[in-house]
Structure 1
Amino acid sequence: MVARPDQPDAARQPDLRPVDADLFRAVFRRQASTVSVVTAAGAGDSDLPAVGLTATSFTSVSLQPPLVSFCLSRRSSCWPTIERAEHLAVHLLGEGQEEVSRTFATPGVDRLARHGQWHTGPYGVPLLDRALGRLVCRTVQHVPAGDHVVVIAEPLLAGVGAETRPLVYHQGRYTTVAATPGTEAALRTVA
């Protein structure tokens, strides 16, 4: 009997099982992700505050035109501001910025006030004072995806910070890419 693609042969694939939330998280803990912070200004015609959030789902989407994306839960306290934001900023974090990431991942607090090291940039977006790199973007599209929304944005302005290694999140810990003798690079746990 030949297994159909929609019905895997369990005897030949003993390490595979139906996906539930715990298994899904376990698989993605094994994926190393760069760490970024997304910020957006509050809407001027409402009581929505300026916000910032840690995102490990940030990625480039297209070169022509330049497009980037990140994912955000619709239950996030940041979603109402992000949903209405015409512009936002993405900050790539570098080695030594673990506390910045933790601050912008903390629920129930004013993350920008807690961080404190930012200023208002173009289009009114909050810009963190230090970053490995940053983009000021125009929001292009929101794509519903399960309990999240994929935010697609067009970079309008970009800047590169000091040359340092990127902050990476892997297996529930912060790491960085570190050159080692005899190899090109290896992950090194930093916190």
Structure 2
Amino acid sequence: MFVVTAVDPGTGARAGCLVGFATQTSIEPFRFLVCLSRRNRTYRVARAATVLAVHVLDEEQRELAALFGERTGDEVDKFARCSWRPGPEDVPLLTDARRHLVGRVLERTELGDHIGFLLDPVDVRAGAGTAPLTFRSLPAMEPGHESG
């Protein structure tokens, strides 16, 4: 599981959400694809974003996963409830996430009820961590927005 964060460079609006659809798409050049539901606020902010940050959560970060998976930025300022710092182009970087990838958005592709954002990495932090949080290790959650 990943948390994707974005900032709209025109308005400064920040957003972030828990995502399960993400994958490496190319070795040379390295490319990464992350998919955002059209229904959530992060997608609406990411439409104008030039970069996105993809954070790898560790198993002990279930509360952070719940914050970004169960709460919607339409109702709650998630960044007031966690520790973060501005990264490249002011994209929010979660300071508790030991691993992240910040990528320049190269393409946006319609993929059913999600939009795929193809990223060209510009900043990668691969710090040591515990086992990554996976879909199977997540507790039951009620999403901030319906999927699809």
Query: So what's the TM-score if we normalise by structure 2?
Result: 0.84
Q: Distance in 2 between matches of 1:171 and 1:94?
A: 10
C-alpha contact 2:68 2:78 (8 A) present in aligned 1: yes
C-alpha contact 1:43 1:81 (8 A) present in aligned 2: no
2:42 is matched with: 78
C-alpha contact 1:132 1:164 (8 A) present in aligned 2: no
Give, as a single letter, the amino acid of the residue that structure 1 aligns with 2:51. Answer: H
Give the deviation of 1:114 after TM superposition. 2.1
2:86 is matched with: 120
Give the deviation of 1:42 after TM superposition. 2.5
Q: Distance in 2 between matches of 1:172 and 1:162?
A: 21
Q: What is the RMSD of the two structures over their aligned residues, measured on CA atoms?
A: 1.7
1:3 is matched with: none
Give, as a single letter, the amino acid of the residue that structure 1 aligns with 2:81. Answer: R
Query: So what's the TM-score if we normalise by structure 1?
Result: 0.66
C-alpha contact 1:87 1:139 (8 A) present in aligned 2: yes
Q: Distance in 2 between matches of 1:171 and 1:37?
A: 15
Give the deviation of 1:154 after TM superposition. 0.8
Are residues 118 and 71 of structure 1, via their aligned partners in 2, closer, same or farther at CA, if it must alter by over 3 Å? same
Q: Distance in 2 between matches of 1:171 and 1:91?
A: 17
The equivalent position to 1:66 in structure 2, one of 30, 34, 49, is 30
Larger radius of gyration: 1
Q: Distance in 1 between matches of 2:124 and 2:78?
A: 23
Q: Distance in 1 between matches of 2:98 and 2:137?
A: 22
Kindly indicate whether structure 1 or structure 2 has the higher relative contact order, using CA contacts under 8 Å at least 6 residues apart. 2
1:154-187 CA-partner distances (Å, limit 9, x unpaired): 111111123311111128638xxxxxxxxxxxxx
SS at match of 2:64: helix
C-alpha contact 2:5 2:42 (8 A) present in aligned 1: no
Q: Distance in 2 between matches of 1:112 and 1:169?
A: 23
- Structure 2 unaligned blocks of 5 or more: 141-148
The equivalent position to 1:101 in structure 2, one of 43, 60, 65, is 65
SS at match of 1:162: coil
1:32-75 CA-partner distances (Å, limit 9, x unpaired): xxx1111112333x3x6111111111211111111111111112
SS at match of 1:43: coil
Give, as a single letter, the amino acid of the residue that structure 2 aligns with 1:57. Answer: F
Aligned residues between the structures: 137
